[in-house]
Amino acid sequence: MTSPRPVALLDLDGTLMDSASGIVASVRAAYERVGLPVPSEAVMRSFAGPPLGWSLATHGVPAELLDDAAAAYADHFGRVGVWDTRVFDGIPQALTALREAGALLVVATAKPQRWAAPICDETGLTPLLDHLVGAPDDESESKGQIIGRALTWVREATGDAGFRAVMLGDREHDVHGAAEHGLPCLGAGWGYADGDELREAGAVEVLTSTSQVPAAVLARVTDRPA
DSSP codes, the chain: -PPPEEEEEE--BTTTEE-HHHHHHHHHHHHHHTT-PPPPHHHHHTTSSS-HHHHHHHTT--GGGHHHHHHHHHHHHHHTGGG--EEPTTHHHHHHHHHHTT-EEEEEEEEEHHHHHHHHHHHT-GGG-SEEEEE-TT--S-HHHHHHHHHHHHHHHHGGG-EEEEEEESSHHHHHHHHTTT--EEEETTSS--TTHHHHHT-SEEESSGGGHHHHHHHHHSSS--
Q: Determine which one of 11, 13, 170, 174 is catalytic.
A: 11
The closest of 96, 94, 52 to 73, measured between CA atoms, is 52
**Annotation says 174 is catalytic:** no
Query: For 124, left (φ over 0), alpha (ψ -120 to 50), or beta?
Result: left
**Residues known to be catalytic:** 11
